[in-house]
Chains A and B, each alone.
Chain A
Amino acid sequence: SQQGEEDPQALSIQEGENATMNCSYKTSINNLQWYRQNSGRGLVHLILIRSNEREKHSGRLRVTLDTSKKSSSLLITASRAADTASYFCATVNSGGYQKVTFGTGTKLQVIP
């Protein structure tokens, strides 16, 4: 089974609203990252949070991490139609070879 699972699987909001996506994972991590994918293209890195951090901000993005619950959330504020895409969390395991594994993704639609 996959390391990460995200919910909701799909989210539809109006432009200007905030979008929140959640990610849960299974093993101890070194860091957690969020990526965006437009229409089946390659993924693009958005933001990273390390295991000793609780919150990070980048522009309209806010990421939180709760290692005790093995969960993270991505908040996109004041959404735009151009934010329509799929969003994935990815974790880098701690210890051993540090491979990167992805969650199942959230498909976000922002309606103009």
Chain B
Amino acid sequence: NAGVTQTPKFQVLKTGQSMTLQCAQDMNHEYMSWYRQDPGMGLRLIHYSVGAGITDQGEVPNGYNVSRSTTEDFPLRLLSAAPSQTSVYFCASSPGGGNNEKLFFGSGTQLSVL
């Protein structure tokens, strides 16, 4: 079992570039989510999904897009990168089913936007 796999681990972008952060889980989890972590801010929810085809916005969704075409994958797209999007991004999943009692985290992607 690989758990939650995030790629890439590190990425440097120029302002205005687009890219996709990948997240995959092999635990058949219904719930998947993306967070960004900035110093002193804890983790802030960007987008989340409660199942294939169902996504919703979190606390800080602007500048990011998501889709959930399969149970396993939940990619996060940056449409036009900005320096304010420099952060560490974490993907997490949970069995779901209504209670989300335990999240499993990926190892994170460190993104720098110049």
- The answer to whether B102 touches A102 (Cβ under 8 A) is no
User: How many residues of chain A get a CB closer than 8 Å to chain B's CBs?
Assistant: 28
Instruction: Report A35 CB to chain B, min CB distance, Å.
Output: 8
List chain A residues, Cβ under 8 A from B45. 99-102
Cross-interface CB contact of B103 among A6, A100, A105, cutoff 8 Å: A100
Minimal Cβ-Cβ distance residue in A for B35: A102
Instruction: Report B60 CB to chain A, min CB distance, Å.
Output: 10
Give the interface SS of chain B, mostly helix, strand, loop or mixed.
Answer: strand
- The answer to whether B42 touches A103 (Cβ under 8 A) is yes
- The answer to whether B101 touches A33 (Cβ under 8 A) is yes
- C-alpha spacing A41/B99, complex, angstroms: 25
Instruction: Report A48 CB to chain B, min CB distance, Å.
Output: 5
Instruction: Report A73 CB to chain B, min CB distance, Å.
Output: 17
- C-alpha spacing A101/B107, complex, angstroms: 18
- The answer to whether A42 touches B94 (Cβ under 8 A) is no
List chain B residues, Cβ under 8 A from A2. 41-42, 44, 59
Taking residues whose C-beta sits less than 8 angstroms from the other chain, chain B's interface range is: 20 to 34
List chain B residues, Cβ under 8 A from A9. 40
* A92 close to B (CB within 8 Å): yes
Other A-B pairs, 9, CB within 8 Å; known A41-B108, A101-B59, A102-B43: A42-B4, A43-B103, A92-B99, A97-B48, A98-B98, A99-B33, A100-B31, A100-B33, A104-B40
12 contacts between A and B (CB under 8 A): A2-B41, A40-B108, A41-B107, A42-B90, A42-B92, A44-B105, A92-B99, A97-B50, A97-B56, A98-B99, A102-B35, A104-B40
Q: Residues on B close to A: CB < 8 A?
A: 4, 31, 33, 35, 37, 40-45, 48, 50, 54, 56, 58-59, 88, 90, 92, 94, 98-108
